[in-house]
Amino acid sequence: MTAKDLEKWCQFCPARRFFLKQGREFQKYMPRPDWVKPGTPKECYRNSFFAVQGCSNRLVYCEGLAWPEDGSSPCEHAWVITHHQVVIDPTWHDLKPDRKVRYWGVPFKWEFVEETVLRTLTYGIVGRWEDDYPIPSGKIPVEEYLWRPESAGVEA
């Protein structure tokens, strides 16, 4: 998928436009370690939430776009990263080592994720159309939700 194709694919969805504009690519990936529980297929937001819960000192919750480089279309997806920004995918954990996936998204502060999920009683925080997309619309300031490596004491 070219950059132009991706922009076209994102143009009519506030969450996708947000990911494209505010997100970034995560280039490092590692297979799911034993201490991260394998998730249920098609429940990436829930799987990623529970992967970080109890491990927020080691993992960061991310939402964004993911797509295999084999020509498949992107999809809205959630995964986790280590504090050194290495992707661990609790949902697509069974990918073959030779199947490359691109991850483009935004890392979130755990306190913000946890509070949002408990308040809304749903997993997934960016695509909240019921609340008129508060993150993509800018109603919530970036500093309230964006996780940065330096906030975890990690040198960038």
pLDDT in tens, 9-45: 888 899 999 999 999 999 999 989 999 999 999 999 9
Tokens of 55: 């491990």
Identify whether the C-beta of residue 59 lies closer than 8 Å to the C-beta of residue 88. yes
Strand partners, 102: 67
d(C-alpha 47, C-alpha 39), whole Å: 5
Q: Which domain holds residue 15?
A: 3-152
The pLDDT, as a whole number, for residue 35 is 93
40, 47 contact by CB (below 8 A):
yes
Evaluate if residue 2 carries a pLDDT over 80. no
Residue 67: phi, psi to the nearest 5? -160, 140
Number of compact structural domains in the chain: 1
Structure tokens at 120: 């809304």
